Chain A
Amino acid sequence: MAVDAALPSPVPLTILVADDDAGSRRIVAGMLRKAGYEVIQAENGAQAWALLQRADGPQLAILDWMMPELDGTEVCRRVRAVPTDTPAYLILLTSRGRSVDIVEGLKAGANDHVTKPADEGELLARVQVGARVVHLQHALADRVARLEEALRNVQQLQGLLPICSYCKRIRDDRNYWQQVESYITHHADVQFSHSCCPDCYERVVKPELDALEASDGDT
């Protein structure tokens, strides 16, 4: 089937194609590269599992069901057993089209399946769904990390702060007395820009300026 020209262009993604059949790998990789994806390949389940465990490993994998050393379903189980905020999106590629097989694949941890021989349009449409899920997961994980960081900063400012009634300095955890701005700058992502409020100008600054002016007049 020809690929639908209206499909959006793919988001940048490296895709693992794992299949012991070199011809099948060549065809699927060709479909993906033509659509603009970067492709890496594995010729058995053990290689696929090794690549998926890497910190910089692929975030989307197309796994043949029956492979030497580790079947695609076993690779799915192993990937799902590892807790992570950004799990890989797994598509099983199989000529086992019976619903009982599809259910088994999904229960093993696959996100989706494509029937062999792969139809180009269907494969790319399913890969695009996977790419969207992967990017949403990464955006969500990034947002959660930022929120956790912000929460840690807020928690540092919570609780009872011992403050001097006269000079307004704050006692920190190590029993040192710090200026308010120094304490807050250290415990939160805040920087102070020093200025003077109107009351303090009248009470402190203006008398000093007047005194300075008077002393200049005397000389």
Chain B
Amino acid sequence: MSGLPVLDHATLDRLRELNEPGEPDIVIEVLTLFLEDAPARVAAVAAAQAAGDARGLERAAHGLKGSAGNIGALRLQALCHRIEDLGRLEEAGDPMVVLSLHEEFETLRQEVTRLL
């Protein structure tokens, strides 16, 4: 996972190709939506872990994985995939995964903010 970029700029370039003349920049829109939406998804993962709710952990991590994939947040996407698997395997008890998630999200948030 450490070999992956925090943010894959090739993904953002592909998104930019969807821009229509006279319309707002889709990359800015999608990154802004991500920063608005993702903290609640991170909190949902943390809450499910704290409650030992494996099914909730799987579901919350799955949602955040999709959001991360949209903007090319490859490291966060890979981490969420791992957490989703833990939930599927009924292993919701490791608080370290939530710590890693918070760290990864903070790194990503700073990089995204620089682009806005």
A residues in contact (CB < 8 Å) with B: 1-2, 20-24, 26-27, 30-31, 33-34, 64, 66, 95-96, 116-117, 120
Contact = CB atoms under 8 A, between A and B. Distances in A.
A118 B59 CA distance: 19
Contact residues of B: prevailing secondary structure: helix
B62 A95 contact: yes
Interface string B7-29: 00001001101101000001001
Contact of B63 (A30, A34, A66, A120): A66
Nearest to A64: B66
Nearest to B31: A23
Q: Which of A1, A26, A64, A96 has the most CB of B within 10 A?
A: A26
Contacts of B17: 2, 120
B70 A117 contact: yes
Q: Which of A20, A30, A64, A66 has the most CB of B within 10 A?
A: A30
Contacts of B11: 117
B67 interface: yes
Contacts of B99: none
A26 B33 CA distance: 9
Nearest to B30: A23
B18 A20 contact: no
6 contacts: A24-B67, A27-B18, A33-B20, A34-B20, A66-B62, A116-B70
A66 B70 contact: no
Contacts of A30: 18, 20, 26
B70 A23 contact: yes
Contact of B70 (A1, A24, A34): A24
B112 to A, nearest CB: 11
A116 B69 contact: yes
